[in-house]
Structure 1
Amino acid sequence: MDTATHMLRTGRQGPLFEVQMALRDLRASGERIDLAWSLAWHDVVSRYRGSILGPLWITLSMGLMILGIGVLWGELFRVPVQTFIPFVAVGIVFFGTVTTTINEGCETFVGAAGMLSQTALPMLTFVWRTVMRNLIYLAHHLVIVLGVLVYFGYWQSANYPIALLGLFFLVANIAWISLLVGIISARFRDIPQIVQSITQAAAIMTPVFWLPDRIPERYHLILDLNPFYHLLEAVRAPLLGKGVAPHTYLFLAGMAVVGWGLTFSLFSNTRRRIVHYL
């Protein structure tokens, strides 16, 4: 009999027991990762049922927005189109993945209230569901990125393995953020509006539509302390044939370790109460 089972039978449920049960949930969700994928795929299919192009409608509208911003803002900022459009295209696609995943993370447990109250599925399955759903959308939007890279010639200088490393850090971090906002949103229902306001502000403070080298040196803290910038830069820079600063990887690695540690601790303490919050 393992320690967790013994504690459960004897009724002694302390912090160690809660951590062990949370680890069980994590392991069980990993073993049922196919279920998370099926739920994510079902979300995408259900959302666009009856549509001719499905999620490609979003890709098409995003492509038109990138073209408009790239041409107009490039002219306003006096940046060549062949430089600005690829910069904006990669920025919008990956920044959109980050913010959308975080915003939808607020509904991770609230939206699954029915399943959580009627089944014994691992709770983290619904976190992976949110992340995978947005990775499916990202796969559609990569059509824009690849098209832009090929058209403007960046595909030859792009460092794809390093970009995949950046994508790994991006997914590792948005996953714990989704879990965090999902837990808090289950308890406090006004959190999604606050989170959405933060991501909207981040779109202005992060170099998605403006070049980071255009701001004065005294304002570089906007970049150095901006997690959204590091998440974006780790993927965008290698795709545009540029190097990634070492401190960006250190920032993202530290963010992932600390974030997962604190969030998993919170999940351990609140796991049994989340269903009651709903």
Structure 2
Amino acid sequence: MHATSTVQAAESPVATSAPPTSDSKTFARAFADIKTGFGARELWGHLGWQDIKQRYRRSVIGPFWITISQAVIALGLGLLYSQLFNTPIQVFLPYLSTGFILWGFISGCLAEGMETFIANEGLIKQLPAPLSVYMLRTVWRQTLLLAHNMIVYVAVLAIFFTALNHQYSLGNQTGLCGGPAYCHPGLSWTMLLAIPGFALLALNAGWVTLLLGIISTRFRDIPQVINSLIQLLFYGTPIVWPVDQLLAGGARANASWALPIIQLNPLYHFMQVVRAPLLGQSFTPGNWIVVGSITVIGWALALIAMRNYRARVSYWV
């Protein structure tokens, strides 16, 4: 009986438990990474501020060199391009300086976002922190730079306020509304819309930093390609040249065929949701719809990348 029981026990299937499944490639872990990263605001806030201080260490005026540099560039190019575009300096300089300030934030997030994990290689390998901390460090650093540059906007607005607090135009040589020239309503309470506009801009900077950072960490040629495209995007986006000149009645209305192409440029819409309120310019709901749609799609792609490749970044750097 004992031998028979032993044989039956040997022949009976052995109950085995299912192998443990890893949750490293789940959206829950991706969301948890981002949530934990936002919770560590003292860490990325300190790191971002230290980046600014380190850049201007031993400088007498420190980060305000950023403001001075921005002011000199805006003034010099404003005087030049206002003559080239035959637009009064009192309406063109605020347009140009605000465009440069916002472009500095956008291009900075693109250029430094691609390198965000590569540049933080030492911390990633030694500090058990969420990947989103390094994304937030980059976006916060660019936000601090933007805040310094906004001093230029405040100064320009104070000087040329009387030219912007009523209807004006960037499409003719007088800067005044009249005839077929496209008119802007002027400064009003709509300036407050720049706050949600910048919030959307910063949200998009977040997913761009995460997505491009992961891709660039794996494929090191990507930063070189995108850096080449940034200069092209600068000239293809209405930063230096005003769209008003292409509209009916504008000085270059014969080039109005380019307007549909401009509408396809997502950076144009990002500029509009922030710059237009700051300068009392006209904008359309379409600008906000495009920006909102890109925000949703971009974060969806970033979350997919975080789900699939978050755990591999430390091996790629």
- Bin of the TM-score, shorter chain as denominator length: over 0.9
Q: Report 1:1-278 matches (<5 A).
A: 11-13=20-22, 17-153=25-161, 154=164, 157-158=187-188, 159-215=190-246, 216-278=255-317
Residue 197 of structure 1 aligns to a residue whose secondary structure is helix
Tell me the distance in 2 between the aligned counterparts of 1:65 and 1:27. 39
Structure 2, unmatched stretches of 5+, are 1-17, 166-185, 247-254
Identity within the alignment, %:
34
Structure 1, unmatched stretches of 5+, are 1-8
**Deviation (angstroms), 1:180:** 1.3
Tell me the distance in 1 between the aligned counterparts of 2:281 and 2:82. 20
Paired residues of 2:23 and 2:29 also in contact (CA < 8 A)? no
Report the AA paired with residue 213 of structure 1. D
**CA distances 1:161-192 after superposition (whole Å, capped 9, x unpaired):** 11112111111112111111111111111221
Paired residues of 1:205 and 1:222 also in contact (CA < 8 A)? no
RMSD between aligned residues: 1.7
Residue 105 of structure 1 aligns to a residue whose secondary structure is helix
**TM-score scaled by length of structure 2:** 0.81
Tell me the distance in 2 between the aligned counterparts of 1:78 and 1:97. 28
Report the AA paired with residue 112 of structure 1. N
Q: Which has the larger radius of gyration?
A: 2
- TM superposition outliers: structure 1 runs of 4+ over 3 Å: none
Greater helix share, structure number = 1
Paired residues of 2:114 and 2:212 also in contact (CA < 8 A)? yes
Report the AA paired with residue 256 of structure 1. T
Paired residues of 2:273 and 2:283 also in contact (CA < 8 A)? yes
Aligned residue in 1 for 2:250: none
**Deviation (angstroms), 1:70:** 0.9
